[in-house]
Each structure stands twice: as C-alpha cells, then as structure tokens.
Structure 1
Amino acid sequence: MASIAPADGASHVLVVDDDSRIRQLLAKYLGGHGYRVTAAADAAEARRKISAIEFDILVVDVMMPGEDGLSLTQSLRSAQDVPILLLTAKSDGADRIRGLEAGADDYLTKPFEPRELLLRLNNILRRRPLPEAPLTREEVRFGRFVFNAKREELYDGETPVRLTDRERQLLGQFAASPDGTLSREALAGEPGEVGERTIDVQINRLRRKIEIDPGNPMFLQTVRGVGYRLRFE
C-alpha cells in the first residue's frame, strides 16, 4: 500500500513513549498513513507539547519512568477530552480496567501490529463528534501594532510595516493560536520544511521590527521549553 503524505487537515497524534524505537516506528508508520505525528519521551515532555499544540489524539505508554501513563491520562482527562489510547506490556485484565477507569478511550497490549494501532486510532476518531469551527480573529493588537490576519498586513499606528512572506506567515500563525503560544515544531511546519534553528533566526528578525528592545522583548516572548508567544490584546 502506498504511503499517504499528511494533508493540511490531517489528524495530529502525539506519541508518548520512553522507547525511542516505538516512537520512530509509529512516527514513520502513522506518518505514512496520513497522520501528522509528534513524539514525546516522557510525561513532562508530553505536557509541554500539549500546552503548545492542540492534538487530535494521544498514544500513551503506561510504563514510563517518572510520571506513568495512567497518571498522565487521569490528569489530562480532568482538564480536556482529547482521545487517548494506552499502550502497555501487561496483558492482565485488571490493568486494562485501570486504564479505562483513568479515562482512556482504548487499550493496546505490546507487542502490537502497527496496522491494528492504525485501525484503532481511526475508529476512535470516527466516533468523535466533529469540532465546531473556531472563530477567527481578523485583527490582533500588541502595543501600538495591529496585524490584519486576513490581509496579512502589519501597521505601526497608521504606518504600514514591511514584512517578508515568512514574517507574515509567522504573525498569521500566532494570530490563529488562542493564546498566541506556539512550539518551534509547530512554527516549523512539516518535518524538513524549516529547521527549528531557522525559526529562532526568523523570530529574531521579526523582533527587530516590533520590539523597542529586541534583546528584551515585550510582545514576542520566548516560552522556555516550549517555543514562542506573541502577547496580543
């Protein structure tokens, strides 16, 4: 079966597993079947990425060092309803029940066939109601600046600010985010499209146009361990 490149509206899955082989396998397999895939090595990294990116579904390993998958699932379920599929090396029925009680939508025992995981993810997402289309903000304001997302124009008061195509794209990404926070990964787009180090350079260039002191930014701020945030009104 031929691989399918992720489309713009592809479902975004976060794979949380301390085994790098599992992360690589699922990134390759699910990515080749139309999913957009992000990976995290533990619960702490998963939380950072979840705070910056809205995922459609999570695949979470139960047995991880530090906070385990059951604790992470239970904590996330108390705050949001993102679908969660748990992976575990244990086949005991009691463990499956604990996972479902924690709020998981499904449970798969290791070792597993990637094809079965794919089918389970597809089934979970098919059962989910379609989300309402988010309201888009045509304009965002920060300080004396106004960015019109529809026209992709930035104004300093009444004066237009010249932007590169990439700077317009970056401001548009921030404007479309509810709290203006995005990870470097999200800003980079598809893997290999833009390097995360390149993002840092582009952000610094944009800061020179909108910050009084680019070295101490008031609006386009670094969120340590996550990425960047544009503080707009």
Structure 2
Amino acid sequence: MRGAVVQDRAEPLADNAPHILVVDDDQKIRALLGRFLKSNGFRVTEAQDAAAARSFMRGLAFDLVLLDVMMPGECGLTLARDLKATRPVPICMLTALADAEDRISGLEAGVDDYVSKPFEPRELLLRLRNILRRGQTPTATRDEIRMGGCVFNTTRGELRRDEETIKLTERERDLLRLFAQRIGVAVPRHELSSDDSTGSERAIDVQINRLRRKIEADPSNPVYLQTVRGKGYILYTD
C-alpha cells in the first residue's frame, strides 16, 4: 500500500458495517490491510491461506472477499473459482503489477475486480465500495455522482469542481451519463461509440483522455475513469 497512513478508528463500527475477509499469506500485509479497512468503517477478518478462509466462511457470512493470487497451497485463483461456483460473495483480487495473465484469469473466473500491487489506498477503497454498491438492489441512475472534487449532475448534464462549472461537449455529457448508469462496471468501447464517424473506438480513447483531464487530479494516473485492458473503461465514484 503506497503512502498508506493508517489511523486507529476512534468511534465504534456501525452495526451494518460491511464485513470483509482478507486472505493473504503475508502477515504484514494482512495486518496493514486490516487496520486500514477498519479505520475506514469495515469489519475485517484475516485469513493466512485458502484453508483458513474456507474455515471462516463455514461459520461467518462476508460481504466481500479481498483475495491475494499467490499463496502457498491452494492459490487465490483456485479459491476464487470455487467460491464463485458455490456462493454469491463478491471477490476483489490482489495481483502483482506485472501479472497480466493472473488478472485475466481472475476476470474469467468471475471475480468482480482486481487491484494491482503496490496500490493506492484511496483506489482500493473506491473499488471495494463500488463492488459493494453493485451488490445492492439496483436503483435508478443517481442524480449526482461524485469523483473527488468533481460532481456531475446527470439530469442537467453539468460538471462542477467546487463552485466552478467545467465545460463539457455533448459527447462528454453522453459518456458521463452512460457511465453513471453503470458505475463500477466495465463498459466495452463499442458501447461507448456513437453512430457517427466520431464514434470509432480510436476516437473514444481520445474522448476518454479529454474527460480525464476534466475530472482527474492526475490524468496520466487516473483514479476514477480507468482502462480495463482488452475491454473498455470503468468509472468509479466516491
């Protein structure tokens, strides 16, 4: 966890706080993740391997599993495939930055998302909260979506940063409205394309880059509007 500052939570957790099972064979990473998640309002149970995770899951219900790929004994991918085949619990996988095949295999196994190590704590929180939000009863598109300092009003098609209105093109409004309907879900490039000549997949990449410059603090390292390799783009919100 890059730049993580973990503070112990002063107030007690809410009764309905989401319960996360953290599965990682590295004790230091487990402990750091556990403290970080607890400080951000989650209940946490820690397991050092797949066998321990299975034991906990026989007696406890979890809202989400945060699962490392590389572990001694049964690997995370095998455990993820089995869990997805037997129970509806959402899974977010932790993978090494270079292990593209692991990320692809995880998505093929049905995991809900993945985070590459080392990761930014804020990005991890966004991903976990979006996974949990997707598991709730579907609702109509929210009137507003927040991305850091930016707020997009889906009805008015208005993007604001603090008190400043950020100018959007019609295509940018359309894209943000589409993402707002599918927050935390990867949207393929062809679904983002319009019917005219400006809607080619290559043009979509250009439009996404322009949107990032308007909503991201660091467009070259996006937190909210991210690329899903080989698939399209995904929007995370606060």
Q: Which AA in structure 1 matches 2:60?
A: I
- Tell me the SS of whatever aligns to 1:78: helix
Aligned pair partner of 1:58 in 43, 59, 65: 65
* Matching residue of 1:24: 31
Q: Which AA in structure 1 matches 2:45?
A: T
Whole-angstrom CA distance in 2 between matches of 1:45 and 1:89: 22
Aligned pair partner of 1:8 in 11, 15, 35: 15
* Matching residue of 2:236: none
Q: Normalising by the residue count of structure 1, what TM-score does the alignment of the two structures yield?
A: 0.53
Whole-angstrom CA distance in 2 between matches of 1:100 and 1:120: 15
Whole-angstrom CA distance in 1 between matches of 2:57 and 2:97: 26
Matched, 1:48 2:88: no
- Tell me the SS of whatever aligns to 2:86: coil
Whole-angstrom CA distance in 1 between matches of 2:59 and 2:94: 24
Q: 1:5 to 1:119 in 2, by over 3 A?
A: farther
Identity of aligned pairs, percent? 56
State the shift of 1:112 in Å: 1.1
Q: Which AA in structure 1 matches 2:42?
A: Y
Q: Which AA in structure 2 matches 1:26?
A: L
Matched, 1:116 2:123: yes
Q: Between Structure 1 and Structure 2, whose CA radius of gyration is higher?
A: 1
Q: Which runs of 5+ in 2 are unaligned?
A: 1-6, 139-238
Cα-to-partner distance string for 1:14-66 (whole Å, 9 max, x where unaligned): 00000011111111110011100000000000000011000000000000000
What does residue range 185-204 of structure 1 map to in structure 2 within 5 Å? none
Q: Normalising by the residue count of structure 2, what TM-score does the alignment of the two structures yield?
A: 0.52
Cα-to-partner distance string for 1:48-89 (whole Å, 9 max, x where unaligned): 001100000000000000000000000111101100000011
* Matching residue of 2:79: 72
What does residue range 1-233 of structure 1 map to in structure 2 within 5 Å? 3=9, 5-130=12-137
State the shift of 1:110 in Å: 0.7
Q: How well do the aligned residues superpose, as a CA RMSD in angstroms?
A: 1.9
State the shift of 1:109 in Å: 0.8
Matched-pair contact (CA < 8 Å) for 1:5–1:33:
no
State the shift of 1:116 in Å: 1.4
Runs of 4+ in 1 over 6 A off after TM superposition: none
Whole-angstrom CA distance in 1 between matches of 2:90 and 2:82: 13
* Matching residue of 2:174: none
- Tell me the SS of whatever aligns to 2:55: helix
Q: Which runs of 5+ in 1 are unaligned?
A: 132-233
State the shift of 1:118 in Å: 1.2
* Matching residue of 2:142: none
Q: Which AA in structure 2 matches 1:114?
A: P
Q: Which AA in structure 2 matches 1:65?
A: P
Whole-angstrom CA distance in 2 between matches of 1:14 and 1:47: 10
Whole-angstrom CA distance in 1 between matches of 2:122 and 2:27: 19
Matched-pair contact (CA < 8 Å) for 2:97–2:118:
no
- Tell me the SS of whatever aligns to 2:14: coil
Q: 1:23 to 1:92 in 2, by over 3 A?
A: closer
Whole-angstrom CA distance in 2 between matches of 1:92 and 1:61: 12
Cα-to-partner distance string for 1:120-147 (whole Å, 9 max, x where unaligned): 100101111349xxxxxxxxxxxxxxxx
- Tell me the SS of whatever aligns to 1:129: coil
Q: Which AA in structure 2 matches 1:111?
A: P
Q: Aligned pairs, how many? A: 131
- Tell me the SS of whatever aligns to 2:74: coil
